[in-house]
Amino acid sequence: MVNPDTVRGQVLLEESREAVVVLDEDGIVVGASRRARQSLGVREGEELNSDLLHGERALVVPYSVAGRAERLVYLSQTGDLAAYEELRSGFTAAVSHELRTPLARLLALLELASLPGENVAELVEQARREVDQIRELIDEVLFLAELESGTRVVALGAEPVLPVLEEVMAELEEQAARAGVALHVEGDPGATAEVRPRMMRVVARNLAENAIRYAGPGANATLSVQREGGGVVIRVVDNGAGVDQADLPRLFERFYRADRARASRGTGLGLAIVKHVVASAGGTAEAYGGRGRGLEIRCSFPARP
């Protein structure tokens, strides 16, 4: 029987937002967090690079397990703190900017409602939609902050993907119909990814909603999952308006909107959240297409070890 404490320790190590490494008494890596593997190239079963182990930013905590000496090593890279502060400052400014627009519209609607002869009921309904947009923006900002802080655990074992995609499609059918977009789902029933169903729903819903909002009336969008090269690929492909190729690398930036998307009621955070969830699970998110050639968002998850 597997010791629950052992499983808990493995999850805590794997999902740590820090670069953490466990060394045995011979200096061999016996465990490493995902960030240590991805950002520093640490490999289990190999010696830890001496420059990392003896660097000024390494914190070494010795301990023993069942009479065996081990070391827990916390690693940080030069510039991490400065980069974080720069990111936080820019993110705060962007959130403030994004909130100003719906708040300004809300104020204008309230002022109109006080004038004689105006349709107060219609203005109140418009104001309610502005409040809904503000609430959605705040919810997504908080969710993204939880992802970045590690409060939300992304991966805890392999889960089937197709049922989640089908559930999301059923939820969005009415929204897609209103937008004039035909939404389809297909894929391999046996495809699994090491992403919690809650997080997979977040990825699938944001991918589908992005196509519904921006593909344009008359477009078709297909949400699918397939096994490729030992891993799993989730993608949404539409034959809609597309975006300029120069905009493709920026689609995953917070609040970035290309051309016609700038007039959208979306928060501008959907694809940023998608990329963060996928990256936290060890995968990659990429965009393909061009103006007038539709758009493909491709999320690749690695093969299970």
Domains and CATH numbers, the chain: 4-75 (3.30.450.20), 80-149 (1.10.287.130), 159-301 (3.30.565.10)
Residues 29, 71 contacting (CB under 8 angstroms): no
Tokens 């890279």: give the residue. 77
Sheet strands side by side (includes 284-289) = 182-187, 220-228, 231-238, 295-301, 284-289
Antiparallel, parallel or unpaired: β 231-238 and 284-289 = unpaired
Residues 112, 123 contacting (CB under 8 angstroms): yes
- Helix (H), strand (E) counts: the chain: 8, 11
First to last CA, the chain: 21
Residue 1 CA, distance from chain mean position: 35
pLDDT tens for the chain, 305 residues long, are 445 556 556 666 666 667 888 888 888 988 888 777 877 778 888 888 877 777 656 788 888 777 788 888 887 654 444 444 544 554 555 556 556 767 787 888 888 888 888 888 888 888 887 787 677 666 666 666 655 555 444 555 678 899 999 999 998 999 999 999 999 999 999 998 887 777 888 889 889 988 998 888 999 999 999 998 888 999 999 999 888 888 887 888 766 655 444 444 555 677 888 888 888 778 899 999 888 889 999 999 886 65
Q: Length of the chain in residues, anyone? A: 305
Residues 196, 154 contacting (CB under 8 angstroms): yes
